[in-house]
Amino acid sequence: MSLILAWVLFPLVLAAVGAGWGVIVARAAGSAISGALLVPLGMAAVIVVTSVLTQWSLTAHAALPVVGIGAAAGLVLAWPWRPGRWPLLAAVGIVAAYGAPVLLSGQATFTGIIRLDDTATWLGVVDHAMTHLQETGGTSTYSLNFETDVGPTYPLGSFMLLAVGHAFTGIDSAWIIQPYMAVCGAAVGLCVYALIEPLVASPRIRAFVAFFAAQPALLYGYSLFAGGRRRRRADRDADRRRRRVRRAGAGRHRHRLGPARLAG
């Protein structure tokens, strides 16, 4: 059951949150957004919102309610929005490809192709994230370890979606860290799908290209040792490139879509 919850419920929750916030950002920007970009854009917006709110203990507890209310409002505004068939198939295929090492094991787990303690550190950050991310307090061993491994300049935004998904589903972070990597890979694929839309007319071919473009050996390798910071950076960079190449809608709206830039 934990395997099904981690690889079905968790990605669906992140997709719903991303879609809702994608609608909010699109409405705020007054710009039409490609359907394939809605979820990646919304995920970037959630990272920005939660990163800001968790800067201080006083506002950190408001992060989850704000994300939940924003996502619900966006989904209501978008109703009856439905994702395109080919982008959806590409995203599901990418999640399955990244999840194959875990899914084929038959149990919820995390991978570790190298001997590295990053995954343990990141799980600790997720536990810390939604209460007082930038403050540890005191001089405890935990505080020393946290501040030494992470520090004030570490890109903590990469942990926000994992923490949100953990809070909304109640699934142990250890079981959803690999699905989180897979969802980030799917977001890269959706950005690629939108990026090549002006060049490739066939949605079937775009989905085929996006499926493979989201799985370069480097990113796939990062996912196997849970390289979340690098995965989110790839997603953000793909969205940036798409917005630079895209000429439809001209320049008056492009500068408004800032979540992907801020999410780094």
Question: Comparing 129 with 9, which gets the higher pLDDT?
Answer: 9
Angle formed by the axes of helices 203-213 and 173-195, nearest 10° = 130
Q: Among candidates 225, 179, 190, 222, which has minimal Cα distance to 86?
A: 190
Rounded CA gap, 195 and 25, in Å? 19
From residue 197, alpha-carbon distances to 1, 106, 209 in Å are 38, 37, 11
In tens, the pLDDT along 67-92 reads 999 999 999 998 877 888 999 999 99
Q: Which residue has the tokens 């201080």?
A: 56
Q: Across 150-164, 195-209, 224-238, 248-262, which has the greatest mean pLDDT?
A: 195-209
Specify the pTM.
0.79
CA atoms of 168 and 170, how far apart (whole Å): 6
Q: Can you give the residue ranges of every domain in the chain?
A: 2-262
pLDDT of residue 256: 45
127 vs 240, residue with greater confidence: 127
**Which pair of structure tokens corresponds to residue 260?**
């992907």
Q: Report the candidate in 161, 6, 185 with the shortest Cα–Cα distance to residue 95.
A: 185
Question: What's the confidence (pLDDT) of residue 250?
Answer: 47
- Per-residue confidence band for 234, with pLDDT thresholds at 50, 70 and 90: low
What tokens does 196 get? 């090549």
Contacting residues for 82 by C-beta, under 8 A, at least 6 apart: none
pLDDT at 146 over 60: yes
Residue 7 and residue 229 in contact, taking contact as beta carbons nearer than 8 Å: no
Check if the beta carbon of residue 104 is closer than 8 Å to that of residue 111: no
Model confidence band, residue 135 (pLDDT cutoffs 50, 70, 90):
low
The pLDDT of residue 155: 74
Nearest to 84 by CA among 229, 193, 179: 193
Please enumerate in sequence order all residues whose Cβ is within 8 A of that of 77, keeping only pairs 6 or more positions apart, or say none.
23, 24, 27
